[in-house]
Structure 1
Amino acid sequence: MRGIRTETIPLTFWLAGAALAAFPLCAHADETKRDDTKPDDTPIVVYGRGLQQVGSATSGSQGVVGYADFENRPIGRVGELAENVPGLIATQHSGEGKANQYFLRGFNLDHGTDLAGFVDGAPVNMRTHGHGQGYLDLNFLIPELVERIDYTKGPYHADLGDFASAGSLAFTTKDRLARPMVEVSGGSFGYVRGLVAGSGQVAGGTLLGAFEGTRADGPWVLSEQLAKFNALIKYSRSNWSLGLSAYTNHWRSTDQVPERAVQSGLIPLNGFIDPNDGGRAGRIALNFNGHFGRTTVSAYAIGSRLQLTSDFTYFLDDPVNGDGFRQVDRRGVFGGSIRHEWGDGPLIWRIGADTRWDHIGQVGLFRTSAGTVTGTVRNDRVDEYSGGFYGEGEWHIRPTLRLVLGLRGDVIGYRVRSDLAANSGTGSAALASPKVALAWQPSKGIELYADYGEGYHSNDVRGATITIDPTSHDAVGRVPVMAKSRGAELGARIERKRITASLVGFWLDLASELVFTGDEGTTEPNAATRRFGTELSIFWRPVEGVTIDSSLAYTHARFRGVTADQTYIPNATPFVLSGGISGRITSHLNATLRLRHFAGAPLIEDSSQRSAATTLVNAGLYWDRGSWRVSADLLNLFNAHDPDISYWYTSRLPGEPAEGVADRHIHPVEPRQVRVTLRYSL
């Protein structure tokens, strides 16, 4: 993507998006003229929480969510699609162009360190990233084109490697639409969104195209000036598909602010300290997926770039120019995977492999003043490559009893070329991870599970070659490339005609690790951790046209091997509750009411400082008649002023002591707002 002027991208996207979206619409129209059978009227398989998992799932915490489950569901941001996974929370502490902050199973996953994400088989997490390890940005997704979300939790699945210790999300986009559509949305705080999408038969396959544009100011004193554009074109045959997607985004940020600044009246709750925060992002991806008999293959090529300008401590380190900094990441990601299955009857074998190469042309950290770069902390080029291999056998001991044994091996190699020669270097690391799962059906529609597995997340490889702190020039320790995890789970699942429920208890350990801190350009030690907890998920259809879903999760999370007064893990939310009810009011009108709550969490290791709990209620009305659909979403129904995220650290405002002030820094949830969408289907 180097050499493209960002200012010209929106116009380019509008033209390219309109062309690629119009082509399937025209193809659809041409086909209708030629063929009165109208292939687009054929039934479409709808996946969802009603899809049977008993007899196929290997743990009580894995599942599937389909488009029908969240079509009538109000969401404020694309990342909230991840909240369809029971027990998962997606928040935001900065502008809407930045990856969300994720919370699952007592983890503050930052932007994705232990949550693996995939879209159409291609990984989304970014290794050795300019902002944070495992950076998981879902802003390029178009919600209307997501067909299903397959999710897992825990390190029990042999086909999953890096970043999947807490869980994984696999988004699958649609191959076709029942009818082409044009959609326009408008709402509070300058929110405007447009979408055009359609599909049709071309050369014996189906061509789908879509283009989305979003503009928003946000509820902040500092106008966000979000300008986001997404495009997707996808060609599918009976057993393979080829997709091309493109995304660009530009925004200004209101980051978390010191609570003392709000309480003193210096700024309002939705105010800002530094007006120069913001960013721009871009992504283009080509991916292939094929199913050939019992062999599945995928391949992808991704170009990605990100530029973030932030300021968290203001004038603590530099009382003259301020503490602003810019993070830059420009890379290409290339790879693929293959999986083959054979055997029938009581014994089934599976083998698979995946490979990935991150060719990182620039990953840098720079000092800024008033949004302008004034110096370099570090500026590197990195090549990171990996290979994963796994095999597993599934033994049907009895028709109601299954045993799955698996073993996965991962290898990561790297080369770091730093602007400071002492921090350059090469190296590699390897890890073997056993997996085991037992599933037993004591009666029809009921299955019990026992799982054990080991896994890992990779660390930023710049930390594996570092010897000198780029700021202080002090000697620093190096980072192990892989941070190992071990976990186990007992679970139960029940599936009846109108109700599906699962209950699990889990335990998860992470080894002692060092992580590279992108905001500082150096490493930061963390102790070993242990988490155990329980999760309950229910999906109930009491009568035709009404669905009720609920999930709750409790996690006890602590550091291990530390003094007794330093055991709490910052931002490890102990309790999460979410749920909702959707119902058909008339033959054309549906309504939804949803609740999301996560409890306060310790902000420092002795738990003397804690965040406030957050509770949000959203509502929606959806009217469909013929070719028309009108949606009205009311976000934050009760206008809560709770924090979306909270941190505790030291910062310094003008006039404060040189040593700064330790304080809670908060980013509030967005206030009550309305969004109305009008859709016309051709």
Structure 2
Amino acid sequence: MGCALISLGGAGSSAWAGGEQSLPGVTIIGQSVVQVGVADSANVGVVTQKQLEDRTVYRPGELLEAAPGLIVSQHSGEGKANQFYLRGFNLDHGTDLRTTVDGMLVNTRSHAHGQGWTDLNFIIPELATGLEYKKGPYYAEEGDFSSAGAVRLKYADTLPGGRYSVSLGQDGYRRALAANSTAFADGNLLYAFEAMHNDGPFVHPDDYRKFNAVLRYSRQYGSDGGFNLTAMAYEGKWNSTDQIPQSAIDAGLISNRFDAMDPTDGGKSHRYSLSGSWRRFDENSATYANAYVIRSGLSLFSNFTYFLDDPVHGDQFAQPDDRTTTAFNVSRKWPGLLGAYETDNTVGLQFQNDSISNALQSTQARDVVSTTRADHIRETSLALYYEYGTTWNSWFRTVAGVRADSYRMSVASDNPLNSGTRSQTMANPKLSLVFGPWSGTEYYVNMGGGFHSNDARGATITVDPKDPATPASQVTPLVRSKGFELGVRTSPIPGLQTSVSLYRLDFDSELVFEGDAGTTSAGRPSRRTGFEIANYYKLSDWLTIDGDIAFARARFRDADPIGTRIPGAVEGVASLAVSVDNLGPWYGEFQWRYFGPRPLIEDNSVRSQSTIGLNGHVGYKFNDKVRIELEGFNLANRKASAIDYFYSSRLTPTGTAQDAIHFHPIEPRSFRLSLLARF
């Protein structure tokens, strides 16, 4: 039947004891969920708890790299939101990659630093029980920011035993974790606490300090459903070594590639949330609901152009952002009949409201010099969607859907000329055709429309905040995307799963990060065409290989003499992971990752270099309860960039403005040693 539900519930069994997670309604080969006969496209997948635990991650956001073709990077201090690349996009800090953790949307709308800002530093990897991913605008339940992809991370309700770990590493890395669950009031109480510090390899240390806490009460009503209530708290504080120009190193203004042009850059952030989810199952339906309140704040100081605009005070700027987000989501699934044909029905409602206060300020060494603009924004959205899946015969099924979104954006600016209210409603159809399976092979045709929202301030602006005498152009609140895809998923030999997809994705307006302005703006219409190949091969009980390759061609669709290339659009991406387990007490994994050169300006005359990384870990199990693990990062010690930009900057107050590549280096080879226990 269409619209098959893949559930990521419960804690599953622990990889520490070599177990595998049991997911209802699906089959697992080795560590991987078999999607043939279940999925509606070649680009959806479920990553199990065992696969997540096997990954070597420098930062928690890199857990998302378990989704094939997705690259997670960083261009600043560790407390800042990550940089994402997928399907020919430089997604900046989260534009067009919808990310949820335990049902809560992480992307933030009308953010001070960039539309869709996705800060994943509050994730505690040990609590993750699985990850679902989708790509393309073909799924009615996925809304804003999901056109390139959507990723869902699920937390455990209970743990099979207490988890305790202490980690030490180079560059001042220290981490401690304590997590456990216990029976309480006819349910279960789970708690987790994490404290971490990291300086990084930088001349001016990151001095990143963070604290995480999770408290969850859950209760299960047999096979009929259950609920949970969860409180989370995160606080982080750091210094930043942002991207730097190579010319500053050549001129001797800074000592090396890990030095900073402005050592006072940095920030602090917090995130507190209270959430609840409820599920109910009976013979003919499944109902899901969740609601949450998030209180979050960011104080961010950046200087990307040094003395270009203000030779006296420098160009450092602050982007404070404080918000309260409230949301409610509910969906219901039930089977039916269309004549003699079996059907699946899904209807859902999604509501979100953001109350936001943010600003753009000129600063010097984090002291405010002037305020460019200050705004209070209220952004409210309501979405309704419906999916109808029909099984026509043993080898053909369809999923048709429609989604309608309505947005209201209200801006109260310090300049009344930039205040106002805008509203927009958009409907998007979806359709998937699934053929097979034949001999373990299934074929897919997917098409549909999606959207991303623009910053509310751009929707109401009328004058330039820096020069009120200069008119400014408004942007539409919602921007439509259209996608089309052909795919195949097959298991040609025992233990091997392969998926191949060819896609095209059009946007009416591209969200582009402006490196010299430190913000995201609505740009020209764009088109991406590309292919992806993902493979998972369980060769034996002790050896697994996971390999992916992707390529995208990204172009602006309008005529402009400056060129048609999209700056920062990633072209080629590849990864290879080899996992070894069940060899007595020893286990380990090595991950090779490549993302290729990118155009840095529209005429393609300036390009970045490719980036290659090799990470891995080796572990030894003393027994089922205690183990030790050594992680290594950038094992080949390559001198490569995590990201590259091309824009104009001035290195000194009396110097001249220069167009140059600005880059942020990947960290040099480093190691971390962890002692882990479960009781």
Seen in structure 2, the aligned counterparts of structure 1 residues 303 and 476 have a Cα distance that, compared at 3 Å, is same
Q: Does 1:351 align with 2:347?
A: yes
Partner of 2:109: 127
Structure 1 residue 46: Cα displacement: 4.3
Query: Does the aligned pair in 2 maintain the 1:163–1:456 contact within 8 Å?
Result: yes
1:552-592 alpha-carbon deviations (Å, 9 max, x no partner): 10001111112366011111111000111011373111021
Structure 1 residue 181: Cα displacement: 2.0
Partner of 2:404: 409
Partner of 1:460: 455
2:444 match: secondary structure = strand
Structure 1 residue 518: Cα displacement: 11
2:261 match: secondary structure = coil
Seen in structure 2, the aligned counterparts of structure 1 residues 653 and 384 have a Cα distance that, compared at 3 Å, is same
Structure 1 residue 625: Cα displacement: 2.7
Partner of 1:390: 385
2:458 match: secondary structure = helix
Seen in structure 2, the aligned counterparts of structure 1 residues 417 and 604 have a Cα distance that, compared at 3 Å, is same
Partner of 1:273: 261
1:38-75 alpha-carbon deviations (Å, 9 max, x no partner): xxx9x973457621212221110010112201312211
Distance 1:283 1:514 in 2: 25
Query: Does the aligned pair in 1 maintain the 2:85–2:570 contact within 8 Å?
Result: yes
Within a 5 Å distance, the mapping from 1:406-445 to structure 2 comes to 406-445=401-440
Q: Does 1:646 align with 2:644?
A: yes
Partner of 1:537: 534
Structure 1 residue 347: Cα displacement: 1.5
1:217-247 alpha-carbon deviations (Å, 9 max, x no partner): 1100001111011011111111211111110
Partner of 2:13: none
Query: Which one is further off, 98-107 or 344-353?
Result: 344-353
Partner of 1:291: 279
Q: Match of 1:191, as an amino acid?
A: Y
Seen in structure 2, the aligned counterparts of structure 1 residues 349 and 678 have a Cα distance that, compared at 3 Å, is same
Query: Does the aligned pair in 2 maintain the 1:377–1:521 contact within 8 Å?
Result: no
Partner of 2:77: 95
Within a 5 Å distance, the mapping from 1:499-514 to structure 2 comes to 499-512=496-509
Partner of 2:489: 493
Within a 5 Å distance, the mapping from 1:253-402 to structure 2 comes to 253-267=240-254, 268-293=256-281, 294-344=286-336, 346-360=342-356, 362-402=357-397
Query: Does the aligned pair in 1 maintain the 2:113–2:518 contact within 8 Å?
Result: no
Partner of 2:632: 634
Seen in structure 2, the aligned counterparts of structure 1 residues 249 and 522 have a Cα distance that, compared at 3 Å, is closer
Distance 1:679 1:347 in 2: 47
Seen in structure 2, the aligned counterparts of structure 1 residues 300 and 497 have a Cα distance that, compared at 3 Å, is farther
Distance 1:381 1:635 in 2: 42
2:32 match: secondary structure = coil
Distance 1:609 1:590 in 2: 43
The partner residue of 1:449 within 439, 444, 448 is 444
1:160-219 alpha-carbon deviations (Å, 9 max, x no partner): 110000001100001111110210000010100000000111122121100000011110
Query: Does the aligned pair in 1 maintain the 2:461–2:474 contact within 8 Å?
Result: yes
Within a 5 Å distance, the mapping from 1:138-157 to structure 2 comes to 138-157=120-139
Distance 1:522 1:584 in 2: 45
Structure 1 residue 519: Cα displacement: 7.7
Q: Match of 2:434, as an amino acid?
A: A
Gaps of 5+ in 2: 1-16, 221-225
Query: Does the aligned pair in 2 maintain the 1:117–1:136 contact within 8 Å?
Result: yes
1:309-365 alpha-carbon deviations (Å, 9 max, x no partner): 0000000000110000000100100011111122245112111110000011x1111
Q: Does 1:242 align with 2:229?
A: yes
Distance 1:590 1:423 in 2: 59
1:586-643 alpha-carbon deviations (Å, 9 max, x no partner): 3111021110100010000011111111000012101123221111011100101100
Partner of 1:219: 201
The partner residue of 2:466 within 468, 471, 496 is 471
Partner of 1:9: none
1:92-117 alpha-carbon deviations (Å, 9 max, x no partner): 00000011110000001111110000
Distance 1:430 1:378 in 2: 28
Distance 1:105 1:415 in 2: 33
Query: Does the aligned pair in 1 maintain the 2:515–2:645 contact within 8 Å?
Result: no
Structure 1 residue 526: Cα displacement: 1.6
Query: Does the aligned pair in 2 maintain the 1:365–1:519 contact within 8 Å?
Result: no
Query: Which one is further off, 463-472 or 523-532?
Result: 523-532
Distance 1:136 1:358 in 2: 15
Gaps of 5+ in 1: 1-40
2:228 match: secondary structure = strand
Q: Match of 1:368, as an amino acid?
A: T
Query: Does the aligned pair in 2 maintain the 1:288–1:299 contact within 8 Å?
Result: yes
Distance 1:44 1:655 in 2: 60
Q: Match of 1:286, as an amino acid?
A: L
Partner of 2:88: 106
1:332 match: secondary structure = strand
The partner residue of 1:625 within 622, 625, 632 is 622
Query: Does the aligned pair in 2 maintain the 1:460–1:516 contact within 8 Å?
Result: no
Query: Which one is further off, 263-272 or 171-180?
Result: 263-272
Query: Which one is further off, 401-410 or 579-588?
Result: 579-588
Distance 1:391 1:655 in 2: 58
Q: Match of 2:355, as an amino acid?
A: H
Distance 2:380 2:35 in 1: 35
1:432 match: secondary structure = strand
Distance 2:309 2:561 in 1: 32
Seen in structure 2, the aligned counterparts of structure 1 residues 514 and 46 have a Cα distance that, compared at 3 Å, is closer
Partner of 1:25: none
Query: Which one is further off, 197-206 or 596-605?
Result: 197-206
Query: Which one is further off, 414-423 or 584-593?
Result: 584-593
CA RMSD for the aligned pairs? 1.9
Q: Match of 2:352, as an amino acid?
A: R
Partner of 1:569: 566
1:132 match: secondary structure = coil
Percent pairwise identity: 41
Partner of 1:17: none
Distance 2:437 2:45 in 1: 20
Partner of 2:8: none
1:131-180 alpha-carbon deviations (Å, 9 max, x no partner): 10000111100011111110000000000110000001100001111110
Distance 1:625 1:86 in 2: 33
2:92 match: secondary structure = coil
Query: Which one is further off, 289-298 or 500-509?
Result: 289-298
Q: Match of 1:640, as an amino acid?
A: R
The partner residue of 1:45 within 21, 36, 40 is 21
Q: Does 1:591 align with 2:616?
A: no
Partner of 1:27: none
Partner of 1:58: 40
Q: Match of 2:324, as an amino acid?
A: G
Query: Does the aligned pair in 1 maintain the 2:55–2:63 contact within 8 Å?
Result: no
Query: Does the aligned pair in 2 maintain the 1:198–1:210 contact within 8 Å?
Result: yes
Structure 1 residue 447: Cα displacement: 1.1
Distance 1:513 1:599 in 2: 21
1:164 match: secondary structure = coil
